Amino acid sequence: MKFIKMQGLGNDFVLVNCLDEKLPGDFGEISRKLCDRHFGIGADGLVLILPSATADIRMRIFNPDGSEPEMCGNAIRCFARYVYEHNIVRKRIIRVETLAGVIVPELVVDGERVVSVKVDMGEPRLERRLIPMEGPPGRVVNDPVTLDGSTYNVTCVSMGNPHCVIFVNDVSTVPLAEIGPAMETHPLFPRKTNVEFVQVLNRGEVNMRVWERGAGETLACGTGACATGVACVLNNLTGREITVHLAGGDLIIEWAEDNHVYMTGPAEYVFNGQWPVTGYQ
């Protein structure tokens, strides 16, 4: 099986063109093996390129634990660059079918090379039941949540997948490996949640660390950065366009007047290779 490794701000993925390659067995089990950083290729997710009956192309993504999230912002930038530069979809604006609906990346091109990708991530879902989150109807903005005896004020947003944003004074001091998995599996979140800790620097910049559902701490999370941009506006902490500083680099996030969230950032190749699928069925 041929694959290519790509990364967006250090959030890395194994991409497989399923228009040409056939994966044997269960995709979740294959993802667990491929994403293992000691016995596999190593990645934050497995991304499959598939045909679509409703859009230009279809993306599925599987986490290192084998679960399938609805969307991934860094993955879709890598996906869009790959399908454009490999002549699978030769359009600069691409409609991509995902479990979160049709997402629309726009490629910023210099000659034949994609230099960045701006993605229309759609409208944020703010109603509690759409996140989904247990509790009474309405939005969850700076609401207290008790976890292991401590109280955290959370703002919750769905970007097609659930996010719990927590504002702190200094993200570097957060014990993410302790709080992240506990909040991810909190009973309030029936489908679990991604968790973002955010430090506001000024009206146009924030620092963010992320615990991703099914993956753990990662260097970047595109949908998490989008949820952070929305949460900042809801709490009147920033303007509608901000730079989100992540461990792997920066993303530009805009919650525009049309209520859509736009994410702009890089997508880079790492290496390609072949996986000996016969030994892993």
Residues that are catalytic: 72, 221
Pairing of strands 268-274, 216-218: unpaired
Cis peptide before 132 (omega within 30 of 0): yes
- Which has the closest alpha carbon to 142: 157, 127, 154? 154
Number of other CB atoms surrounding residue 231 within 10 Å: 29
Task: Round the CA-based radius of gyration of the chain to a whole number and report it.
Answer: 18
Q: For residue 279, with 0-12 CB atoms within 10 Å meaning exposed, 13-18 middle and 19 or more buried, which class applies?
A: exposed
Task: Please report the beta strands in the chain, taking only residues with DSSP state E, as ranges in sequence order.
Answer: 2-8, 11-17, 45-50, 57-62, 96-98, 101-110, 113-120, 143-147, 150-158, 162-167, 194-202, 205-212, 216-218, 241-246, 249-255, 261-265, 268-274
Amino acid at site 102: V
How many Å apart are CA 31 and CA 46, to the nearest integer? Answer: 6
| Ramachandran quadrant class, 227 (left: phi over 0; alpha: psi -120 to 50; beta: rest) | alpha
Cβ(6)–Cβ(78) below 8 Å:
yes
Place of tokens 């703010």: 126
Place of tokens 């930038």: 77
